[in-house]
Amino acid sequence: MTKALKLLYLIDETSYMRTGAPVTWLDYKVWEKGPVAEELYNELRYDQSLIQNGEPLTLEPYIRTEKKDTADGQKQITIYPKGNYDFKEFSSFEKELIDNIIDRFGSYTAKQLINLLHEENTLWHKCVTDNNLKLNFQVYGKKSNHTIDFAELIKDNPMLRLAAQSAFESMQLQEEMNNL
């Protein structure tokens, strides 16, 4: 589960750096082990489905999970696909990006991905440093309410900032139309 969540983050971060928009539009919280899409984490770990437009939004049709307790008292969650999927919802750019991230980082372990995302100059590292979150993790536990700000990646690129604003407005409009 940790590996899958980190790969998903890398897909969104890379997409944002290249286009000004993520693939998933998930919010990533700054937790001790790196950026985490809390909604997905809660579904995978606690079987809590997200409710959107009054309907549960769940991964259940696409994946199954296997949960085991490890010798050190941790819970290990393994994710398995339920079949082959039609990726028609993704653009050719998104498909290529996903393939490239999997090719580049798919052989990394969860721990290696955590270390990669903890490196200096990453968004996670910047947020932890700016907000003194290492102390927060020691005192309050492994989670924080701070969110990764992808806008930091493109702050010096006016074209990508404009693309990000346009993509965000388009996403908001789509949500409003879905609520009609």
pLDDT at 54 over 90: no
Cα–Cα dist 20/16, whole Å: 4
pLDDT of 52 above 80: no
Q: pLDDT value at position 111? A: 96
> Of residues 58 and 3, which shows the higher confidence score?
3
Q: How many helices (DSSP H) and strands (DSSP E) are in the chain?
A: 7, 6
CA–CA separation, 44 vs 53, rounded Å? 21
Tell me the pLDDT of the chain averaged across its residues.
93
Instruction: Specify whether the CB–CB gap between 97 and 103 falls below 8 A.
Output: no
Q: 0.85 exceeded by the pTM?
A: yes
At 75, is the pLDDT very low, low, confident or very high (cuts 50, 70, 90)? confident
Asked if residue 51 has pLDDT above 80, the reply is no
pLDDT at 159 over 90: yes
Identify the burial level of 137 via C-beta atoms within 10 angstroms of its C-beta, where 0-12 means exposed, 13-18 middle and 19 or more buried: middle
Give the mean pLDDT of 34-44. Answer: 95
In the predicted structure, residue 148 carries a pLDDT above the cut 80: yes
Evaluate if residue 86 carries a pLDDT over 80. Answer: no
Q: Please determine, for residue 53, whether its predicted confidence score (pLDDT) is greater than 80.
A: no
Mean pLDDT of 4-33: 97
pLDDT at residue 60 in the model:
87
- Is residue 73 very low, low, confident or very high in pLDDT (cuts 50, 70, 90)? confident
Q: Is the pLDDT of residue 85 over 80?
A: no
Q: Is the pLDDT of residue 118 over 90?
A: yes
161 has a pLDDT exceeding 90: yes
